[in-house]
Amino acid sequence: MTIKVIGAGFGRTGTYSTSKALSHLGFPSYHMFEVLDRRKNPGHLDFWHRVANAPAGIQHDWDTVFHDYAATVDNPGCCVWRELVNAYPDAKILLTVHPGGVEAWYESTIRTVYFTESWQFRLLIAAIPVARKFADMAHKLVWHRSHQDTMSDRAAAIAHYQRHIEDVTATVPPEKLLVFSVDQGWTPLCNFLDVPVPETTFPNLNSRTAIRLRAFRCWIENIQLIAARPMI
């Protein structure tokens, strides 16, 4: 299997719902939750931590993590969208945007996934090495490299979001790009990928509550994995 769809949109732009939609359409999709699922993907966090600590623009063996997937959306893949475009030249580019606009995107991000930058989270994970590695990866790859350290300044973060959209649309040929909002439903996505429109309802899984619960379950599973290891 190879990557056929590269998600260039920032996290919290409907990426979880879009990931599920792509998987339903026959494009198994990679999302940040795949990194957190260490039972299924035991080496993935280590891989992305190496990417985060390497210079930007360097090519890696992306198939190490993407070999079972045909699409990637959300972090960490969107942080290296340029590298992935070069690595998978036949892939189509999916630029997800928040259906509520840039202000809604900022509020959603600050109130959910940006918690990894909080002192409370740092204190909570101080004694958990795998969580510290995840936080270091997220800080360097997502908040520093991708978001250019803008999230603590609302105006700067919003301007950077808009620049990112302009950058992607200026870089990717129009015939290979879909700017997509989840409130558009199946039709534009299916037309873009040349697949039939399903009769089922488009997934709606990106609420703040759903994301928090999913992340909480991932962390509990990781703690259980650590606890199950034999003491040396």
12-30 confidence digits (pLDDT tens): 999 999 999 999 999 999 9
CB-CB contact of 170 with 82 (8 Å): no
In the sheet with 92-96, reading across from the earlier edge strand, the strands are: 29-30, 71-72, 5-7, 92-96, 177-180
Percent of the chain whose predicted confidence (pLDDT) is above 90: 74
Task: Return the pLDDT at 1.
Answer: 86
CA-based nearest residue to 9, from 209, 152, 177: 177
Mean pLDDT of the chain, nearest integer: 89
d(CA 28, CA 3): 9
d(CA 127, CA 132): 8
Task: Return the pLDDT at 92.
Answer: 99
Length of the chain, in residues: 232
CATH number for position 206: 3.40.50.300
- Residue 85: pLDDT over 90: yes
- Residue 213: pLDDT over 60: no
Domain interval for residue 118: 5-228
Higher pLDDT, 41 or 102: 102
DSSP conformational letter for 138: I
Task: Return the pLDDT at 118.
Answer: 86
Q: Supply the pTM of this predicted model.
A: 0.88
- Tally the domains of the chain: 1
Mean pLDDT of 206-223: 52
CB-CB contact of 174 with 81 (8 Å): no
- Residue 223: pLDDT over 50: no
Mapping DSSP to helix (H, G, I), strand (E, B) and coil, where does residue 93 land?
Answer: strand
Mean pLDDT of 76-96: 98
Model confidence band, residue 231 (pLDDT cutoffs 50, 70, 90): very low
Task: Return the pLDDT at 126.
Answer: 81
- pLDDT-wise least confident of 75-79, 192-196, 225-229: 225-229
DSSP conformational letter for 175: G
- pLDDT-wise least confident of 39-53, 81-95, 138-152, 198-212: 198-212
> Strand 177-180 relative to strand 92-96: parallel, antiparallel, unpaired?
parallel
- Residue 214: pLDDT over 80: no
- Alpha-helix residue ranges (DSSP H) falling in the chain: 15-24, 32-36, 44-52, 63-66, 81-87, 102-111, 119-124, 129-137, 154-171, 186-193, 208-228
Mean pLDDT of 212-225: 50
pLDDT tens per residue across span 124-181: 888 888 889 999 999 999 999 999 999 999 999 999 999 999 999 999 999 999 999 9
